């Protein structure tokens, strides 16, 4: 090989290779410290600049601690189930003069019962009695009591005769109607009897037609008996009244007192009749809103009454606060009320804190909530600007948050 042939040449090349390798290594040794020094200087200057700038601390707004609870929107007082008078519970409604959602005033007419005409006739009759007894008293004071009693006797006779004629007319009309019905029933029974004999209809159908005939016969017999009773009793009463009229004597002073008492009695009858008539007009006992109508024209008064009426001038939320949180609730604290059904957030102020521990009435769908937990009822009065909105959602279940650090 050439190396072994020329050792001097090999040494020369080896020296040159060492020099070539030492140059870049030396340059690298010089450049690295310079780079490190430069980088550390820049980093140091940046740290100095940052140390001169004050650190930025985010500003946090204070948050009032709140207590959450469930509640319901309520009116100021309990909802009133307005009904008719207890003496007229069997009466039917003739008219209902309000609609659901109407605002009414105290004393406003809500409904009219169907016995108004009957009660008005009673009032008219009582007023006529007052006029008659007043005339009797005037005659007694004028010394012509006998003439007054005569007039009263004549009026009684005329009244009895009118009742007698009216009763006869009514009974005869009833008898005629029953006779016509009986005739038709007998004809129909004869036809069905023939069909029954031919085996075309069942015995039950035949018996039903026979029963109809017998029923009408019994009703006809009763009507004729009533007519006979009228024919026998009223003439006797009329004769008795006429006999009394003939036996009238000169009126004594004491008769004036009797006439005065009769007048007072007649006036009391008018007041009673008017009071009964007024019962047929159902009026609002207070200002409020009609929430629901339970009874309509033609129906007897429902067990729930005629209408539901509530005062909505002030609206509240009854919140159920856990017994462990009630010590943090104070009158005057602000509260916010929300629900998916509400178009906006409602606000109010704690007005009353209950003093009795009870069971939860408002039940949530959240399975983690203990429905047997003990609560205290807190009454929150809503702001006046939220009353109209809240009045549309009476009894709505809502979420309540009470700010325990707030106090108006």
Percent of the chain with pLDDT over 90: 27
Helix (H, G, I), strand (E, B) or coil at 403: strand
**The predicted structure's pLDDT at residue 2:** 44
> Which bin fits 143, alpha (ψ -120 to 50), beta or left (φ > 0)?
left
C-beta of residue 67 within 8 angstroms of C-beta of residue 321: yes
- Which two tokens mark 321? 């606060």
Q: How confident is the model at residue 60 (pLDDT cuts 50, 70, 90)?
A: low
Using CB atoms within 10 A of its CB, is residue 280 exposed (0-12), middle (13-18) or buried (19+)? buried
Model confidence band, residue 115 (pLDDT cutoffs 50, 70, 90): confident
Reported residue count of the chain is 408
What is the pLDDT at residue 73? 93
**The pTM of the whole model exceeds 0.85:** no
What CATH number belongs to 314-403?
A: 2.40.30.170
User: Tens digits of per-residue pLDDT, 62-92?
Assistant: 556 889 999 999 988 788 888 877 666 677 8
83-113+281-308 is a CATH 3.50.50.60 domain: no
What does the pLDDT look like over 37-59, one tens digit per residue? Answer: 454 455 455 544 554 544 555 54
- Averaged confidence pLDDT in the chain: 79
Tell me the per-residue pLDDT of 294-351, one tens digit each, with 9 for 90 and over. Answer: 989 988 887 888 898 988 888 999 999 999 999 999 999 999 999 999 999 999 999 9
The two counts, helices (H) then strands (E), for the chain are 7, 13
Q: Residue 246: pLDDT above 80?
A: no
**For residues 85 and 91, what is the distance between their CA atoms, to the nearest angstrom?**
10
Domain borders along the chain are 2-52, 83-113+281-308, 117-276, 314-403
Residue with the larger pLDDT of the pair 247 and 381: 381
pLDDT at 43: 45
pLDDT of residue 227: 80
109-113 and 397-403 strand pairing: unpaired
For 117-276, the fitting CATH number among 1.10.287, 2.60.120, 1.10.10, 1.10.3280 is 1.10.287
- The string of pLDDT tens digits covering residues 147-184 is 667 777 778 778 877 877 877 888 888 888 888 888 88
| Strand 66-75 with 315-322, pairing | antiparallel
Mean local confidence (pLDDT), 98-119: 90
H helices of 280-391, where?
Answer: 387-390
By C-alpha distance, which of 186, 193, 221 is closest to 207?
Answer: 193
């Amino acid at each position: 090989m050439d190396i072994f042939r020329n050792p001097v040449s090999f040494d020369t090349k080896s020296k040159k290779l060492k020099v070539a390798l030492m140059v870049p290594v030396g340059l690298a040794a010089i450049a690295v410290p310079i780079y490190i020094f430069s980088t550390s200087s820049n980093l140091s200057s940046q740290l100095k600049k940052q140390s001169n700038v004050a650190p930025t601390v985010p500003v946090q707004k204070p948050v009032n601690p709140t207590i959450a609870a469930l509640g319901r929107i309520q009116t100021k007082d309990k909802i009133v189930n307005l009904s008719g008078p207890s003496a007229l519970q069997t009466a039917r409604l003739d008219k209902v003069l309000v609609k659901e959602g109407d605002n009414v005033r105290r004393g406003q007419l809500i409904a009219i019962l169907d016995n108004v005409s009957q009660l008005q006739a009673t009032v008219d009759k009582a007023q006529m009695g007052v006029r008659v007894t007043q005339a009797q008293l005037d005659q007694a004071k004028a010394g012509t009591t006998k003439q007054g009693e005569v007039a009263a006797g004549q009026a009684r006779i005329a009244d009895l005769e009118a009742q007698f004629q009216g009763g006869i007319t009514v009974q005869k009309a009833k008898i005629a109607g029953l006779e016509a019905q009986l005739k038709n029933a007998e004809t129909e029974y004869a036809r069905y009897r023939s069909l029954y004999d031919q085996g075309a209809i069942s015995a039950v159908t035949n018996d039903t037609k026979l029963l109809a005939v017998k029923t009408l016969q019994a009703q006809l017999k009763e009507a004729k008996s009533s007519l006979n009773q009228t024919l026998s009793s009223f003439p006797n009463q009329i004769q008795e009244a006429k006999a009394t009229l003939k036996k009238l004597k000169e009126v004594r002073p004491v008769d004036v007192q009797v006439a005065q008492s009769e007048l007072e009695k007649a006036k009391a009858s008018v007041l009673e009749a008017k009071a009964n008539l007024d019962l047929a007009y159902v009026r609002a006992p207070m200002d409020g809103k009609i929430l629901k109508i339970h009874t309509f024209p033609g129906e007897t008064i429902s067990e729930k009454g005629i209408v539901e009426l509530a005062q909505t001038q002030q609206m509240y939320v009854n919140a159920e606060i856990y017994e462990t949180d009630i010590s943090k609730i104070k009158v005057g604290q602000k509260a916010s009320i929300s629900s998916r059904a509400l178009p906006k957030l409602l606000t109010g102020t704690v007005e009353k804190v209950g003093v009795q521990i009870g069971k939860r009435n408002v039940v949530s769908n959240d399975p983690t909530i203990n429905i047997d937990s003990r609560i205290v009822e807190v009454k929150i009065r809503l702001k006046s600007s939220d009353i109209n909105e809240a009045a549309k959602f009476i009894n709505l279940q809502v979420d309540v948050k009470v700010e325990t650090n707030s106090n108006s």
